[in-house]
Amino acid sequence: MVRLQAPLEAVQRRVEPTAGQLVADGDDVCVITAGTGSLEAVAAHQAWPGVLSSVVSPPQLRAAVHPLGRRTVASADAG
């Protein structure tokens, strides 16, 4: 489960319905619960430009986000 700091309507335009269940969590926040897929794919999918996100659960997804972030920073620094 990932909490996205963006209105539901804005995220719905960017997410395929098969990506998971997307629900509003207030006016400018929504939550997506991924249906299937690898944790690394889910981690990469939640890293959208301009949208802050936080992993709610499971802990394994949180662990998958860290190496993705390190690789992203390393690729930016390599150029």
Name the pLDDT band for 79 (thresholds 50, 70, 90): low
Ramachandran category for residue 28: left, alpha or beta (phi over 0 → left; psi -120 to 50 → alpha): alpha
Task: Dump pLDDT digits (tens) for 4-54.
Answer: 999 999 999 988 888 889 999 999 999 999 876 788 888 887 787 889 999
Could you tell me which residue, 41 or 67, shows the higher pLDDT?
67
CB 68 within 8 A of CB 28: no
Q: Do you know the residue count of the chain?
A: 79
